[in-house]
Amino acid sequence: MNNITLVLEAVSQGDGHAADELLPLVYSELRRLAVARMARESAGHTLQPTALVHEAWLRLVDDDNRTWRNRAHFFAAAAEAMRRILIDNARRKSRLKHGGGQQRLNIDDVEQAAITPDDKLLMLNDALEQMEKENPEYARIVMLKYFTGLTNHEVAETLGISESTVERHWFNAKRWLVKKVRASA
């Protein structure tokens, strides 16, 4: 039983701190794999987030401990890691662009080309944070689908729900998010 398995075990048992520990472990493994992958393969290849996360999963957790519950936590942590990387990056670029403190962008700006994808990502992130409070089930699905690129089938497997549920939640989540973004602007 290695380090990460112990942490997963703790998470399963409801240990709140363990979840915090899980994140950096997953993060560093993802980073190691990403570097190795970029080093080996030529620039022309497209990057597959699912494959990388899957690989990290296989490398870090051995056969005996690959329960679906552990997998669910692992993948959730991976998705969270990826989200944070993106948000950090987006914030940095936004600061560079708009200079200094967080500016609230309004809805009219959204339509203009001046608003970069990164800015929109930040708006999405705010909406997502709210979703985590108001509708955690939807949020889980958004995380796995949007940030990790899992298929509906894979999401269903990971969360232990039916594929049609995944489809339906994803459908509703998209509506929810855009409504929230527009509402807060």
Partner 1 sequence: MSDVAVNRAEEIVFSALKFQSSAERAAFWDRACSDDATLRATVETIWVEYTDGECFLKECQPALSPGAEAIRLLADSTDFTDEVSAEFDSDKIIGSNIGPYKLLQKIGEGGCGTVYMAEQEKPVRRRVALKVIKLGMDTKNVIARFEAERQALALMDHPNIARVLEARATETGRPYFVMELVRGIKITTYCDEHWLNVRQRLELFIQICGAIQHAHQKGIVHRDIKPSNILVTMLDGVPVPKVIDFGIAKATGGERLTDNTLFTAYEQFVGTPAYMSPEQAQMSGMDVDTRSDIYSLGVLLYELLTSKTPFDQNELLNSGLDKMRRTLLEREPQRPSAKLDGLQAEELTQTSLHRQVESPRLKSLLLGDLDWIVMKSLEKDRNRRYQTANGFGMDVQRYLNNEPVFARPPSRLYRLQKLVRRNQTTFASIAAVSVALIAGFGTSTWLFFREREARREAESARRVQTELRAEADARAKISQAALLISRNDMAGADHLLDNIQIPVVEPSLEAAGVFHTLGNWNVTQGRWQVAADRILQLEQANQVDKADLTADETRDLLGAGPVLIVAGDLKKYRQFVQVTLHRFAGTSDPVAAEEVMKNSLILPADATTLQKLEPLVKLLQSSVAQNGPEVAKNNYLIPWQPLALSLYEYRCGNFTNVIVWGQKCLDYSNPTPPRVVMVHIVLAMAYSRLNQPENARLELAAGREPIEKRLPDGPEKIVDLGRASTGNWHDWVIAYFLLHEAETFVK
Residues at the interface with partner 1 (CB under 8 A): 30-32, 34-40, 46-52, 55, 58-59, 62, 81-83, 85-86, 89, 117-118, 120-121, 124, 145-149, 151-153, 167-168, 170-179, 181
17 or 151: whose CB is closer to partner 1?
151
Give the nearest distance from C-beta 53 to partner 1 in angstroms.
8
Least separation in angstroms between CB 128 and partner 1: 10
Q: What is the DSSP string of 11-54?
A: HHTT-HHHHHHHHHHHHHHHHHHHHHHHHHS-TTSPP-HHHHHH
Residue 142 CB-density burial (10 A; 0-12 exposed, 13-18 middle, 19+ buried): buried
Q: Which is nearer to partner 1, 92 or 98 (CB)?
A: 92
Q: Which is nearer to partner 1, 19 or 170 (CB)?
A: 170
Per-position b or e across 90-102, b if 16+ CB within 10 A of its CB: beebbeeeeeeee
Q: Which is nearer to partner 1, 11 or 155 (CB)?
A: 155
